């Protein structure tokens, strides 16, 4: 019948733009051996386009709609209403009418049909559009079917569909609608089958929802369905619901809702045999499509019909592994305080830097800790580390170990496979020169790198970077460096444990950690205050900065009074800290040196909220508070049994804490310094590739791995399909939330962190820095969007070192990710800011502008 109407058997994988995602999936389903799909056909998008192409009013309204944003609700409603009216009244092209007539006579014109929308941007792996367009059940007769085809076309412009497209970045002109006309089946029961558990994401568990009558009752939320879970041919969970209502087809067409007989309401919808049969069908469909499926099914006279299947778009991908063994993976993102996805170049360079292999999934990196968990000694070491960095991860790992069904625990005397063998930091004496020597060594090494890399070009740049990464690894995992970091952490732990035991005081090390020397990250926040001091006397510069655009910053600035001084101060700051940015472990992220205006809102906030010389005053105040706390603790210890000895030991540990803990931030600063040198050298090569027409723009190379880019430099050849594919994948990854712990079954394990005696309404996290503070919550996702007032509390997803300049103008910190020794907690303690970290969904639970109280010592938040 040409391409305006196709039956299911005539469709193939190349016809997405003709039949839409739903239509294409039905065509595929109908070809799977042994799977029953009700017969039907599809009015293709060509029919829709023919109906509207000559309609000038329609095209003009579409032009108006294209200019709107998702927030323009009233205009969207008005224009959409007019578009729907046109589509309902439009004349259906004659060849479409003839084709529909042909198929109805072939399948039986007297039958009832379901008339369903299938948009070209629907049921795709990266965008489901579920429920955005209309479908109609039990439609009888040719005229009624044609009328409902028009109604489906009109549903392309429901307010919800238009807003969804605007939010997802789809062009209204590029989304078309085909209409499925499919023989109705009148089921005793129907429902949904997920071939992976939608709650835990476990790929080995199928989840079935079932209720009586048509599936619309379940989809529309009219009934609570039975729920069954099946794992490897065994029903592992059943929940039977009271199903009071069901929707059934009427003889004259349409549907009706009926009350279910009270005796039947609590009856199990499917028998055990039917549940297992449906699970087998689900696995067959999943194998055919090659990914987990969300399947709609009907049961008619003990036979299952499949009426739809689509990919499950919300599952987190499983880290890549080379075997079929049970594996446990821990998120690197949560350890590095960066839950955003990374582009392939950034991922590959970070992988090259790591001490142990990492596995990619969803644009993030994961470490396989299976072998560490199997041996009691290495398990304890791993869990102790996690207790410090992220207790939620520790508790999730404990859940897996305690279940005992996923990994086998080896005897304690078994050799420590995969443990931190050879990575034990030596215990050090409290030598004040060790930190300055380590810092000086890193600085010398980075200066040598900057000079040498200037002499390289082409493929040699990449060979040289690979060599230098070995130097970087040596520096990062240098035993002396590790011993300093562990020495500082152990001193903090010793002080906290013993002060609580001897004096009943919790988290004493928090105050003692304020204003320590050699903390490059907290110095960076204070140094920006000094830049603000340079700008403060010049109102013209302040006014200019409030409206500045990126390309004008330095060019226009120097023409103003105070402009040259401001430029010099910003450039000096960038020379030392300009390689930093949010998500800095991803080399592809834009650095402050590349976009200095990122710092402008923080500079303006510093000028507004703080007085001249604030950096010295803040640092000195913290130092005095730490000194005062030390004297107070020593005075309280002396009267205790063995008090003099306890006091001496405490003084020694405080000295160790203060001389070593600041260095913890330095190795990462050194690493990010090197990354920026690599990036600048790689971008020079990218410029040459652009000039040679090998790549379209420099940023495209971020979608290649380091090895692939090296190959492109050598061959001057690139398959651009790789870039396009990875850009699409990256957009999908941005929508995913990475799990802390995931297994090779795809199961996401969440670690609970239960605590007693908290207020009923408390939002619980982890105590990270002592103190109680009240203030206005500022929920901020991007540092450059910060508009802070004195006394605000920062609430955000995560903070890495780049967020530190904000810490000088806030009074408290709340993050969704983190633990006691992650960046935000360390800097909050140094600045004396109460902090609660690891608060799941903090940015959703706390609204911007709400007044909140945070309890840094107890680890919870109250909304006031």
Question: Minimal CA–CA distance to 796: which of 816, 820, 766, 818?
Answer: 816
SS3 letters for 316-385? CCCCCCCCCCCCEEEEHHHHHCCCCCCCHHHHHHHHHHCCCCCEEECCEEEEECHHHHHCHHHHHHHHHH
Please tell me the total number of residues recorded for the chain in this structure: 864
Do 186 and 248 form a contact (C-beta atoms < 8 A)? yes
Tokens of 229: 């879970």
- C-alpha to C-alpha distance for 785 and 601, rounded to whole angstroms: 7
Question: Minimal CA–CA distance to 93: which of 43, 141, 167, 129?
Answer: 43
Buried b / exposed e over 94-127, threshold 16 CB at 10 Å, is eebbebbeebbeebeeeebbbbbbbbbbbbbeeb
Q: Which CA distances in Å does 61 have to 33, 76, 583? A: 46, 10, 42
- C-alpha to C-alpha distance for 546 and 552, rounded to whole angstroms: 12
Do 763 and 781 form a contact (C-beta atoms < 8 A)? no
Residue 779's H or E segment, with its range, is strand 772-779
- C-alpha to C-alpha distance for 40 and 33, rounded to whole angstroms: 17
Phi-psi map region of 442: left, alpha, beta (phi>0 left; psi -120 to 50 alpha): alpha
- C-alpha to C-alpha distance for 628 and 22, rounded to whole angstroms: 69
- C-alpha to C-alpha distance for 861 and 843, rounded to whole angstroms: 12
Q: Which of 359, 823, 841, 855 is catalytic?
A: 823
Q: Angle of helix 433-453 relative to helix 479-503, nearest 10 degrees?
A: 140
Question: Half-sphere exposure (CA, 13 Å, Cβ side) for 134?
Answer: 16
- C-alpha to C-alpha distance for 535 and 570, rounded to whole angstroms: 10
Tokens of 238: 């059943």
CB atoms within 10 A of CB 644: 11
List, edge to edge, every strand of the sheet that includes 763-764: 763-764, 860-863, 851-855, 772-779, 792-796, 810-815, 835-837, 766-769
DSSP 126: T
Do 762 and 408 form a contact (C-beta atoms < 8 A)? no
CB neighbour list of residue 26: distance below 8 Å, 6 or more residues apart: 8, 11, 37, 40, 42, 180, 182, 307, 308
- C-alpha to C-alpha distance for 761 and 745, rounded to whole angstroms: 35
Question: Minimal CA–CA distance to 654: which of 516, 769, 519, 767?
Answer: 516
Exposure of 636 by Cβ count < 10 A (0-12 exposed, 13-18 middle, 19+ buried)?
A: middle
The 3-state DSSP class for residue 857 equals coil
- C-alpha to C-alpha distance for 400 and 387, rounded to whole angstroms: 16
Do 398 and 752 form a contact (C-beta atoms < 8 A)? no
DSSP 270: S
823 catalytically annotated? yes
DSSP 697: S
Do 484 and 663 form a contact (C-beta atoms < 8 A)? yes
| β-bridge mates for residue 112, sequence order | 140
DSSP 819: -
- C-alpha to C-alpha distance for 565 and 657, rounded to whole angstroms: 38
The 3-state DSSP class for residue 114 equals strand
Question: Minimal CA–CA distance to 712: which of 700, 730, 724?
Answer: 700
* Catalytic annotation, residues: 823
């Amino acid at each position: 019948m040409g391409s305006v109407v196709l039956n299911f058997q005539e469709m193939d994988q190349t016809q997405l733009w003709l039949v839409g995602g739903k239509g294409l999936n039905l065509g595929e389903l109908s070809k799977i051996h042994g799977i029953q799909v009700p017969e039907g056909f599809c009015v293709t998008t060509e029919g829709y386009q023919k109906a509207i192409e000559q309609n000038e009013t329609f095209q003009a309204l579409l032009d108006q709609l294209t200019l709107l944003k998702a927030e323009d609700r009233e205009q969207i409603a008005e224009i959409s209403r007019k578009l729907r009216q046109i589509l309902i009244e439009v004349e259906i092209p004659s060849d479409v009418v003839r084709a529909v007539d042909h198929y109805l006579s072939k399948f039986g014109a007297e039958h009832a049909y379901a008339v369903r929308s299938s948009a070209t941007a629907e049921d795709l792996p990266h965008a489901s559009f579920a429920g955005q367009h209309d479908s109609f059940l039990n439609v009888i007769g040719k005229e009624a079917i044609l009328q409902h085809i028009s109604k489906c076309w009109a549903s392309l412009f429901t307010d919800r569909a238009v807003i969804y497209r605007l939010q997802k970045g789809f062009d209204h002109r590029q989304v078309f609608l085909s209409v499925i006309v499919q023989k109705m089946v009148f089921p005793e029961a129907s429902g949904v089958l997920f071939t992976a558990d939608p709650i835990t994401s476990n790929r080995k568990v199928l989840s079935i929802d079932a209720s009586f009558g048509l599936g619309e009752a379940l989809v529309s939320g009219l009934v609570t369905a039975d729920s069954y879970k099946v794992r490897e041919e065994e029903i592992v969970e059943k929940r039977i619901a009271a199903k009071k209502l069901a929707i059934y087809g009427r003889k004259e067409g349409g549907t009706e809702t009926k009350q279910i007989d009270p005796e039947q309401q609590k009856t199990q919808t499917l028998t055990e045999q039917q549940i297992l049969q449906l699970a087998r069908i689900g696995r067959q469909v999943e194998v055919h499509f090659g990914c987990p499926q969300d399947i709609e099914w009907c049961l008619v006279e003990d036979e299952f019909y499949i009426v739809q299947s689509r990919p499950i778009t919300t599952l987190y991908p499983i880290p890549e592994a080379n075997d079929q063994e049970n594996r446990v993976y821990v998120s690197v993102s949560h350890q590095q305080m960066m839950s955003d996805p990374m582009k392939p170049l950034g991922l590959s360079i970070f992988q090259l830097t790591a001490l142990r292999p990492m596995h990619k999934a969803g644009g993030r990196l994961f470490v396989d800790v299976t072998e560490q968990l199997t041996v009691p000694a290495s398990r304890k070491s791993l869990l102790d580390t996690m207790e410090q960095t992220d207790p939620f991860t520790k508790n999730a790992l404990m859940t897996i170990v305690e279940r005992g069904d996923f990994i086998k625990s080896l005897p304690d005397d078994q050799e420590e496979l995969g443990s931190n063998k050879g990575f034990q930091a030596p215990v050090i004496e409290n030598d004040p020169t060790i930190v300055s020597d380590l810092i000086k060594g890193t600085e010398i090494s980075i200066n040598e790198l900057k000079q040498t890399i200037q002499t390289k070009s082409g493929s040699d740049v990449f060979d040289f970077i690979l060599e230098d990464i070995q130097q970087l690894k040596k520096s990062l995992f240098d035993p002396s460096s590790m011993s300093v970091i562990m020495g500082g952490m152990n001193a903090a732990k010793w002080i906290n444990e013993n002060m609580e035991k001897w004096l009943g005081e919790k988290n004493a090390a928090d105050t003692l950690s304020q204003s320590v020397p050699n903390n490059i990250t907290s110095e960076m926040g204070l140094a920006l205050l000094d830049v603000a001091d340079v700008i403060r006397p010049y109102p013209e510069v302040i006014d200019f900065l409030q409206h500045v655009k990126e390309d004008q910053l330095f060019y226009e600035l120097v023409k103003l009074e105070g402009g040259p001084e401001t430029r010099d101060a910003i450039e000096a700051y960038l020379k030392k800290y300009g390689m930093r940015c949010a998500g800095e472990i991803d080399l592809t992220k834009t650095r402050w040196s590349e976009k200095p205006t990122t710092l402008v809102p923080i500079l303006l906030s510093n000028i507004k909220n703080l007085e001249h010389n604030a950096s010295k005053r803040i640092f000195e105040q913290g130092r005095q508070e730490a000194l005062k706390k030390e004297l107070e603790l020593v005075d309280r210890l002396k009267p205790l049994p063995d008090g003099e000895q306890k006091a001496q030991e405490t003084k020694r540990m405080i000295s160790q804490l203060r001389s070593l803990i600041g260095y913890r931030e330095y190795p990462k600063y050194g690493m990010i310094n090197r990354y920026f040198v690599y990036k600048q050298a790689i971008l020079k090569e990218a410029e040459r590739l652009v000039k040679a027409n090998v790549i379209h723009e420099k940023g495209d190379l971020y979608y290649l791995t380091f090895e692939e880019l090296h190959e492109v430099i050598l061959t001057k050849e690139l398959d651009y399909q790789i870039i396009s594919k990875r850009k699409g994948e990256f957009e999908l990854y941005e929508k995913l939330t990475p799990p802390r712990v995931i297994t090779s079954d795809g199961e996401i394990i969440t670690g609970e962190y239960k605590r007693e005696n908290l207020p009923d309404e408390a939002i619980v996290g982890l105590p990270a820095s002592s103190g109680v503070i009240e203030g206005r919550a500022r929920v901020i996702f991007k540092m450059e969007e910060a508009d802070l007032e004195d006394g605000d509390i920062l609430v955000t997803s995560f903070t890495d070192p780049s967020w530190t300049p904000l810490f000088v103008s806030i009074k408290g910190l709340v993050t969704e990710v983190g633990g006691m020794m992650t960046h935000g907690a360390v800097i909050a303690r140094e600045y004396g800011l109460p902090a609660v970290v690891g608060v799941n969904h903090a940015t959703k639970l706390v609204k911007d502008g709400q007044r909140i109280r945070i309890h840094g010592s107890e680890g919870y938040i109250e909304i006031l």
